[in-house]
Structure 1
Amino acid sequence: MTVTKKISLVVPFYNEGGGVHSFARSIAAILAAIHGYDFEIICIDDGSKDTTLQELMQVRSLDPRFTVLELSRNFGKEAAMTAGIDYADGDAVIPIDADLQDPPELIKTMIAHWEQGAEVVLAKRVDRSSDSYLKRKTAALFYRFHNTLSGVKIPENVGDFRLMDRVVVKALRQLPERQRFMKGLFAWVGFKTVTVEYKREAREIGITKFSGWKLWNFALEGITSFSTTPLKIMTYVGAMGTLVTACYALYIVIRTLVHGVDVPGYASLLVAILFTGSLQLVGIGILGEYIGRIYMESKQRPVYVVRKRYADGDDSGGQLRYSDNE
């Protein structure tokens, strides 16, 4: 007897009111053309303040394949995605954004590669013309900078949209980080990977929730999560500064012995003090980023709290996420 495989779609939602039904119709049309599989669509309401939850409940009442996780507050996209992955029980899991910039038409191709033996199928954007010029350039800079510093290489122009086999999902669930940079965690677990390319379209619903400041903090999170190179750089800079200072001090001593006391030099002394002080502050700031991460991780708080889970035959709440959840 052949057992039908199950595919889980994981979709974080945050203030997507007015676009939930559009997303549901698009997904339903795509899945209707894929035969031989059972599908579940896990929608995570990440503390939305608009009508997102109500619209998700309406969609769930019309289509039993939809499961809704209501988080107790806004925990952020990484936590919401983690919640969806934890609750997914499919043989393969596909995270996808609700804005439909990542084409759901690609799901069929992903499944085909998976059936051929791939454990991870990445969706790579080959055309990001729908994004602003600044966003494209800063994204390219981030990938280049991160992959230079870190031993864990993140595929360039690959977002969260991908297919992961059950074995990959189990590996992800073993990672205990509370502050999660999912792109890095996806890359860290590895496994046999295939890449498919697509052109990124403009958003069909809503507006981006990532401001420039949030993107900067997100990049900082990624770099400090997977590399200690910034600390090493400051060590080398400090060593070079010490060496230069020692050489300059020796030069001053010799010049004073030969030519006597030279009163002028206030400007150069002020510049040296300000430069050294600024360098120390930068070093302390970098050190503080890592100490802050240690502090947050040491609390061992759950990544998210589920207020309620809405699914056929199982409406439960108060769920916490722990690293050994299976």
Structure 2
Amino acid sequence: MGAGLLAHTEKIAARRAVALSVVVPCYNEIGGVAELYRRVTAVCREQAGHSYEIVLVIDGATDGTREAIFELAKKDSHVVGIDLARNYGHQIALSAGLEFCCGERILILDADLQDPPELLKAMMAKMDEGFDVVYGQRLKRQGEGWFKRATAALFYRLLRKMVDVDMALDSGDFRLMNRRALDHLNAMPERYRFIRGMVSWIGLKQVAFAYERHQRFAGTTHYPLKKMVLLAMDAMTSFSIVPLRFASHLGMIFGFLGLAALGYTLFSWVAGSVLPGWTSLAAIVLILGSVQLLVLGIFGEYLGRMYMETKRRPLYLINEIAAHDPAAGKLPVHRLQEMAEELTKGAVRASGRI
């Protein structure tokens, strides 16, 4: 972001500093926006009085979600709608809201209401004990099929074995953080973001909060298998080099197998035995070729992410901000020339923060 924008944003944050921020990424959630607003508003008033904000990040919605959120922002000064320039994905939309919010405590919530906002009271009480992060740990996952539950459980346990970070099991993005933890999170500039892993990497004092996940209030899931696989790949490549080591180990294993096969061939030749035909040789070549392509694919995933990071493009662009506070609405949030100048000086990171 440009230096002028930074100063302007600090003024907004100072005027709108609140005790509690609730950050909600929204993509085609028209069926649940009203209920989301009603329930979140109720718990915020109970826990923070009038010192709260609800930051709704519109991630390229096409079903009227944007209009509904902007209407809420006109009527309620506690609501801020951030309309991203396009669909960037859940993790980046969440990052946009976390960079914009100004609460001392921040609740991350999904718009589908599978994570009940009413749990905020108990989570706040837990944070009062001195914790920096209170993360939700799912005991049950209502409305989700056995395949998704099984693959999610396997993924988190596998990831936990592969990384040096104390990665929380059976945990999504539903969590309560204090400003100290959020500032550390916002200082992390990577593009391929796995928020729950990044929060675990921060450390500080974190504690699990067990709960039962509910069914979606309305609509269908926006996390199909393809997006789940991409998120898993981001998590693996962002927090572990085990896949690279696996490629090396695989090469060593097949190297030893090749030496063994060579020894067997020489022994057979000396003994005068008939050597096997070309079928076995073709099978070996195909196997080795497949392994080589697999290893190249692993290297390519890491190299591709490095390439994208070096471009230093903004993490996201914002189309418009809707807020009851005139100072926070419709800001010229993207002056790319200023941003480029600041990047040249090394003064700011290209994260797209407003």
After superposition, the Cα gap between the structure-2 partners of 1:5 and 1:301, relative to the gap in structure 1 and judged at 3 Å, is closer
Shift in Å at residue 35 of structure 1? 4.7
- Report percent identity of matched pairs: 36
Give the conservation status (yes or no) of the 8 Å contact 1:8–1:88. yes
Which residue does 1:221 correspond to in 2?
A: 234
Which residue does 1:93 correspond to in 2?
A: 106
Which residue does 2:57 correspond to in 1?
A: 44
| In the alignment, structure 1 residue 170 sits paired with structure 2 residue 174 | no
Return the alpha-carbon distance in structure 2 between the equivalents of residues 5 and 46 of structure 1.
24
| In the alignment, structure 1 residue 253 sits paired with structure 2 residue 255 | no
CA RMSD of aligned residues (A): 1.9
Shift in Å at residue 36 of structure 1? 5.0
Return the alpha-carbon distance in structure 2 between the equivalents of residues 263 and 115 of structure 1.
75
Partner of 1:160: helix, strand, or coil?
coil
Return the alpha-carbon distance in structure 2 between the equivalents of residues 296 and 227 of structure 1.
18
After superposition, the Cα gap between the structure-2 partners of 1:317 and 1:51, relative to the gap in structure 1 and judged at 3 Å, is farther
After superposition, the Cα gap between the structure-2 partners of 1:276 and 1:30, relative to the gap in structure 1 and judged at 3 Å, is same
Matches within 5 A, 1:1-326: 6-36=19-49, 38-259=51-272, 262=274, 264-311=276-323, 312-313=325-326, 314-315=328-329, 316-319=331-334, 322-323=350-351
Shift in Å at residue 112 of structure 1? 1.6
Return the alpha-carbon distance in structure 1 between the equivalents of residues 297 and 271 of structure 2.
42
Partner of 1:194: helix, strand, or coil?
strand
Shift in Å at residue 322 of structure 1? 3.8
Return the alpha-carbon distance in structure 2 between the equivalents of residues 5 and 14 of structure 1.
26
Kindly tell me the number of residue pairs found equivalent between the two proteins.
Answer: 322
What do residues 97-131 of structure 1 show as CA deviations (whole Å, max 9, x unaligned)?
A: 11111011111111122222111011111111321
Give the conservation status (yes or no) of the 8 Å contact 2:57–2:84. yes
TM-score by length of 2: 0.86
Give the conservation status (yes or no) of the 8 Å contact 2:60–2:88. yes
Shift in Å at residue 26 of structure 1? 1.4
Give the conservation status (yes or no) of the 8 Å contact 1:121–1:196. yes
The structure that is helix-richer by fraction is 2
Return the alpha-carbon distance in structure 1 between the equivalents of residues 101 and 18 of structure 2.
13
Return the alpha-carbon distance in structure 2 between the equivalents of residues 129 and 5 of structure 1.
33
Shift in Å at residue 217 of structure 1? 1.4
Return the alpha-carbon distance in structure 1 between the equivalents of residues 48 and 250 of structure 2.
59
What do residues 257-295 of structure 1 show as CA deviations (whole Å, max 9, x unaligned)?
A: 2316x3542221111111111111111111111111111
Return the alpha-carbon distance in structure 2 between the equivalents of residues 21 and 324 of structure 1.
29
Return the alpha-carbon distance in structure 1 between the equivalents of residues 322 and 148 of structure 2.
36
Return the alpha-carbon distance in structure 2 between the equivalents of residues 35 and 186 of structure 1.
24
Partner of 1:101: helix, strand, or coil?
coil
Give the conservation status (yes or no) of the 8 Å contact 1:69–1:310. yes
Give the conservation status (yes or no) of the 8 Å contact 2:315–2:352. no
Give the conservation status (yes or no) of the 8 Å contact 1:92–1:165. yes
Give the conservation status (yes or no) of the 8 Å contact 2:313–2:351. no
Return the alpha-carbon distance in structure 2 between the equivalents of residues 322 and 263 of structure 1.
61
Return the alpha-carbon distance in structure 2 between the equivalents of residues 263 and 190 of structure 1.
60
Give the conservation status (yes or no) of the 8 Å contact 2:138–2:212. yes
Return the alpha-carbon distance in structure 1 between the equivalents of residues 267 and 83 of structure 2.
72
Shift in Å at residue 307 of structure 1? 1.2
Partner of 2:174: helix, strand, or coil?
strand
Higher relative contact order (CA 8 A, sep 6+): 2
Partner of 2:51: helix, strand, or coil?
strand
Give the conservation status (yes or no) of the 8 Å contact 1:69–1:308. yes
